[in-house]
Amino acid sequence: MSNRSYPRVFIAACVLVAAAASVYVGVLVYDILLKPVLEVLPPFAIAFVFAFLMNPIVDWLEQRALSRGWAVAAVGLAFVIAFLLVGFLLVPQIVDQATQLARNLPSYARSSAEWIDRTLAGRKPLLESLHLPSDAGQLAKHFSKQLESAAASSLAFLANLLAGAVSKLLWIIVIPLSTLWLLKDYKYITAKALHLSPERYRQSLETLGNIVSGVFGRYIRGMAAVAVVYSVVSCIWLTAVRLDYALIIGSLSGPLYFLPYLGALVTILAVAVAAVASSHSAAYVFAVVAAMAVQNFIVFDLVITPRIVGRSVGLHPVLMLLALALGAKFFGVVGMILAVPLLAAAQAALGQYYPRLLENPLNSGHQSDESK
């Protein structure tokens, strides 16, 4: 018998047909199976994160002679009470301030234009020599397209946010119930996942999991505590200096602190806009903006956050910025929040197998022997 040799063109055509068929089947599987699963999965993923973050509290209660079920019930009841207290005490005031903001927007727009005119009046010759707008009308005309685009984007964002909130009302039930059940069976679930892995890798996977969960959990829990303190402090002093909409800005400043650098800039900008729109003097605007900058970059970044979260997550600032950019690109705001702790956890895990990654070469103790 003689071996039949097929032409290369025929073989290439078969490979292309097989590849196209694989892609087509993959698209069908994604549309029919994976896409619905991915759409349903987010609330359960959020519940697992909540269970992961609250599990140390449950473990602590277990060590004080409480059963797992009673410990979970105590933690769940505490969070429900805290949520209701915040809802009854803070939410009505925030809604009232938001209503006032909507009602006063036209007058704030006029007062902001007047403030801009007063600020630019003393610099009119310089601005005209540079061919730059010298009053609010020229400024609005000069940036009319950008303002229209920003307004349209803002309205579209709010519409999508409201539509998304309505479509996710079921999450209010799914997330708490799933969190409680995951907390109750957390040890079983983690042990089961480890048991399903190959036996020769279990020890390494357990060590790796402890390192990753330790870094990630400490960072998220610490930052959550810092965010609460940040919001409380902001609400108190912004209300004390009688800044309009202090509760709205203060309540949002804490969650924004989760976003390194960017969150602080957004908060400071919001404080500045609120101060300007309320027709305060330039000295008042400068004072509240400077105070918010000091609170963020000195009081919290250098004093409070290192004490609660730890001195550092072990990442260079440039790597943190890169992580934020990549997280925002692929997963939006959630990606920005999780990018830094995930990268820190990955670095800690790699350091377990390559210790030099975590060493500082300038402090390694190696000195040149000049006597030789």
Model confidence pLDDT, tens digit, residues 193-214: 888 888 888 888 888 888 888 8
Residues in the chain, pLDDT under 50: 1-2, 366-372
Query: From residue 268, how far is each of 76, 147, 260, 292, 296 by CA, in Å?
Result: 35, 21, 13, 6, 9
- List helix spans (H) across 241-278: 246-257, 262-277
User: Which amino acid does the sequence have at 141?
Assistant: K
Query: Which tokens hold the place of 151?
Result: 């307004």
Query: Which pLDDT value is given to residue 149?
Result: 60
Does the predicted model carry a pTM greater than 0.85? Answer: no
Query: Which pLDDT value is given to residue 293?
Result: 92
Query: Which pLDDT value is given to residue 295?
Result: 92
Query: Which pLDDT value is given to residue 14?
Result: 77
> Which residue is listed with tokens 């509240």?
288
Query: Which tokens hold the place of 336?
Result: 């920005």
